[in-house]
Amino acid sequence: MGTKNLDENKDKKINDTNLDENKNDEVKKEDSIDKESDKNNAEVIKQNDIEKNNDKILDTKTTENKDNDESVNIEQSRKEKKGDDKKEEQEISNDKDEKSDSCCSKNDDEEEKKCPVSKGLRLLIIILFVMIVLGIIYKTTGCNLAKIDNGNNNSQEETTAVANKDENQSEVQEKVKTDLEMVQEIAATYEPAIVSVVMNDGSQKLDVIGTAVVFDEDEENIYIVSNQHVIYDRIRGKAYERSEDLFIQFDDENVCEMSILGSDTRSDLAVLKVSKEKISKEFLSKLVPVNFADSDKVKVGEGAIAIGNPLGFVDTTTFGIVSAINRKMDLDVDFIQIDAAINSGNSGGATFNLKGEVIGINTIKIQDTGVEGLGFAVSANDVKKVITEIRENGKVDRPYLGVIGLTISAQKAEQFDLPKGAWIETVEKESGAYMAGILPGDVITSADGNKIESIEDLIKVIQSKKVGDSIELTVFRAGQDELKLTAKLTSRND
């Protein structure tokens, strides 16, 4: 029994020691809530150590007291002690729960303030961290994807550019091919309509002196247009009128007499006629008269095909472009400038567009050292007007003011204290200008309400009128106020 009491006392001391340690631990837990879970783990470990110590003590006592009865008693005592220990552990656990409840109740405000805030803060930190990580990932992959996308776009753009370039080159090549094919087709179709003007010089040989173009036909005749200077006899001072002087050569077998319906000096055009009876049916079957284009629609840069008989080389075709439009060459018509090669003998020939329409009649080539590609054709619209008037009246009846003048430029106007306009050099007697009172030295600044800044402006207004029309002129005369004069347009006698 003494040993039992001793054991019980030892156990009680151990239990008391354990309780004190637990109390100390609980006090420490109260001091730091954040370390509570670690301390609880420590208590569990300590409790396990206590049980192990108890087991060791009991084993030691069992070894020392080999008496079966005492062993039984010790075993029963141990069981009882275990039961007591369990009770004590339960009491300790209850105390812990009470203290934990007490801690929670004491720190209820802290739990509401500190614990929830701490948990919320942690959650917020976690969310922010996740967002930052996702942002970094998105930024990295996004940039890479953007670079890849840009690379793909650049690659696509480069591919598209190359494709477009190839396509454009193909289009250009196709267009060039098409243009050249059109040149061939136009030449083959209209070469029979481009004929030669030849002269009988008294020998057996006929000299080619120029070119002419078949533009119309009826049941009896073929109608042809050429330049006046081609059919003009410079020696006798008049146009050739006799059949033994000039002929139209359609081909080697068809050289026919022709008659002159009329000519016009101010456009350098002439209209001719040949009877169909003098032309073989075989040739007539392949003859296609040309069609005239609307030359107001001609654009710089478009194709120009010149067909003629330069230097006697019949049916010569050259190809170029329209270099300029509305050129003035001291005549009463507009000229189209072309760079297709034309030479002496091309005069009176045709310049075609790529549609097979005549845009002009070749008239002038500037010949000088170092000058190439400066050819000029009377515009198709002016050609049509002249042809119509000659066929109807035998001549071109042009409205005429009766003055010769020049342009007062801004520099000259400032130098001589004159207004810009058309300065009158001479006035023809009995003309409309003479009868209206216009004098040499006058400057015409307005005509029919149109501002006049050059002699070309004045000519343009006059050409828009008809013979017999009146024109209202505003005239500056030195030393006088601005004058208002009315002049009647007469017919010009060339």
Answer whether 295-382 and 399-491 agree in fold: no
Distance CA 335, CA 383 (A): 10
Confidence (pLDDT) at 114: 47
Confidence (pLDDT) at 434: 95
Distance CA 244, CA 276 (A): 18
In angstroms and rounded to an integer, the radius of gyration of the C-alpha atoms of the chain is 60
Q: Which range among 70-84, 223-237, 282-296, 366-380 shows the weakest confidence by mean pLDDT? A: 70-84
Residue 374 near residue 346, CB atoms below 8 Å: no
Percent helix, strand, coil in the chain, to 5, is 50, 25, 25
Confidence (pLDDT) at 426: 95
Q: Which range among 172-176, 221-225, 239-243 shows the weakest confidence by mean pLDDT? A: 239-243
Residue 348 near residue 362, CB atoms below 8 Å: yes
- Residue 238, by phi and psi: left (phi above 0), alpha (psi -120 to 50) or beta? beta
Q: Which range among 119-123, 231-235, 328-332 shows the weakest confidence by mean pLDDT? A: 231-235
- The tokens for 177 are 């091919």
Identify the architecture of domain 192-286 in CATH: Beta Barrel (2.40)
What is the average pLDDT across 118-122?
Answer: 70
Distance CA 260, CA 273 (A): 6
Residue whose pair of structure tokens reads 């059109």 in the numeric block: 182
DSSP 3-state of 450: strand
Residue 342 has pLDDT above 70, yes or no: yes
Confidence (pLDDT) at 286: 93
For residue 353, CA distances in Å to 81, 216, 481, 484 come to: 127, 19, 52, 46
Distance CA 167, CA 5 (A): 114
- The tokens for 346 are 């091309």
CATH of region 399-491: 2.30.42.10
Residue 222 near residue 213, CB atoms below 8 Å: no
Hey, which residues does 474 pair with through a beta bridge? 446, 484
- Residues 6+ positions from 423 with CB-CB distance below 8 Å: 405, 406, 407, 408, 441, 442, 443, 455
Distance CA 455, CA 417 (A): 18
- The tokens for 109 are 């405000």
Choice among 77, 196, 267, 347 that is catalytic: 347
Residue whose pair of structure tokens reads 């329409």 in the numeric block: 357
Residue 19 near residue 92, CB atoms below 8 Å: yes
What is the average pLDDT across 205-233?
Answer: 91
Distance CA 208, CA 194 (A): 13
Nearest to 357 by CA among 217, 181, 215: 215
Task: State yes or no: is 347 an active-site residue.
Answer: yes
Which of the residue ranges 66-80, 87-101, 180-194 has the most confident prediction, judged by mean pLDDT? 180-194
Of the pLDDT bands very low, low, confident and very high (cuts 50, 70, 90), residue 241 is low
pTM of this structure? 0.60
Nearest to 336 by CA among 379, 292, 366, 384: 379
Residue 322 near residue 302, CB atoms below 8 Å: yes
What is the average pLDDT across 65-79?
Answer: 48
User: E-strand spans in 375-489?
Assistant: 375-379, 399-400, 403-408, 421-427, 443-447, 450-451, 470-476, 483-488
Task: Tell me which amino acid residue 398 is.
Answer: R
- The tokens for 23 are 């109390």
Distance CA 224, CA 270 (A): 8
Distance CA 473, CA 449 (A): 8
What is the average pLDDT across 431-439?
Answer: 95
What is the average pLDDT across 394-399?
Answer: 89
- Residues 6+ positions from 428 with CB-CB distance below 8 Å: 402, 403, 404, 434
- The tokens for 164 are 């477009």
Residue 470 near residue 461, CB atoms below 8 Å: no
Which of the residue ranges 71-80, 98-107, 192-201, 271-280 has the most confident prediction, judged by mean pLDDT? 271-280
Residue whose pair of structure tokens reads 């081609």 in the numeric block: 230
Choice among 85, 229, 334, 442 that is catalytic: 229
For residue 205, the 8-state DSSP code is P
Distance CA 372, CA 5 (A): 143
Express each pLDDT in 13-48 by its tens digit.
Answer: 444 444 444 444 544 444 554 455 555 555 545 555
Task: State yes or no: is 296 an active-site residue.
Answer: no
Residue whose pair of structure tokens reads 């209850």 in the numeric block: 94
Residue 243 CA, chain-centre distance (Å), reads: 60
CA angle, corner 332, sides to 400 and 411, nearest 5?
90
Instruction: State residue 444 phi and psi, 5-degree precision.
Output: -85, 120
CATH of region 295-382: 2.40.10.10
Residue 91 has pLDDT above 90, yes or no: no
- The tokens for 348 are 């009176």
The domain locations on the chain are 2-106, 192-286, 295-382, 399-491
Confidence (pLDDT) at 122: 76
Distance CA 336, CA 327 (A): 6
- The tokens for 26 are 């609980």
User: Which of 88-106 are b and which e, b meaning 16 or more Cβ less than 10 Å from the residue's Cβ?
Assistant: bbeebeebbeebbeebeee
What is the average pLDDT across 231-250?
Answer: 68
CB atoms within 10 A of CB 245: 16
Q: What is the dihedral of CA 447, 448, 449, 451, to 10 degrees?
A: -20
